A = this chain, B = another copy of it.
Amino acid sequence: MKKPAKPGPPGKIKIMTAFSLLMETKDFQSITTAEIAGNAGVTEGLIYKYFTDKKDLLHQVLHQHFAAFQAGIETGIQEKQTCIGKLEAIILASLDSYARNRVLARILLLEVRNSLSYYESGAYAMVKTYARTILDIIREGMETGELRPDMDPFLLQKVILGAIEHTCLKQVIFDKKMDVAAAAGGIVDIIFNGVKHHGCH
């Protein structure tokens, strides 16, 4: 588990912002350390003063972006009273964050998951906390009777996370725009009300 990446010395900041900028147009693999250093206005060697790895740099940049992401989520659900309201808020806020911050989305959904070291990084720890928040809300909802008590909360958590991520995927990969509000509303409707058509009302 790496350290949470404090703001740090100017060189480190320059490296991280340069890398983050490059990630807007290129994928991780095709960004070279020389390119990063060049754009940051530092030498290649400095990268390895602050980051153990090229991947560590990726993880720390993700950590930074995700911190803002999670802050946005938490303020979004504070005012909501019902569990369903909270989950709606999380889904909307998540989609919105991914849509607004393509770099965050690209790193998180496409770039980090393949390497084992990510799962030992501080960034992943934050993601786990985020996922845990959703799980806790679900459990609470099942206890209060807002949500059906006869289901696996883990599974609902996965369905929600999967729905959020897969909804963004195409937009992230092909750089398209998306109607965040409509998507969020649709997902909420599908998951909460179900898609089976029946006369019951």
Binding site for B on A (CB under 8 A): 27-29, 84, 109-111, 113-116, 119, 145-149, 151-152, 155-156, 158-159, 161-167, 169, 173-174, 182-183, 186-187, 189-197, 200-201
- Set of chain B residues within 8 Å of A166, measured between Cβ atoms: 158-159, 161-162, 165-166
* Cα–Cα distance between A156 and B196 once the two chains are bound (Å): 11
Contact A27 B115 (CB under 8 A): yes
* Contact A173-B29, Cβ < 8 Å, known A111-B114, A183-B155: no
- Set of chain B residues within 8 Å of A174, measured between Cβ atoms: 119
What is the oligomeric copy number?
2
- Set of chain B residues within 8 Å of A183, measured between Cβ atoms: 155
Contact B191 A147 (CB under 8 A): no
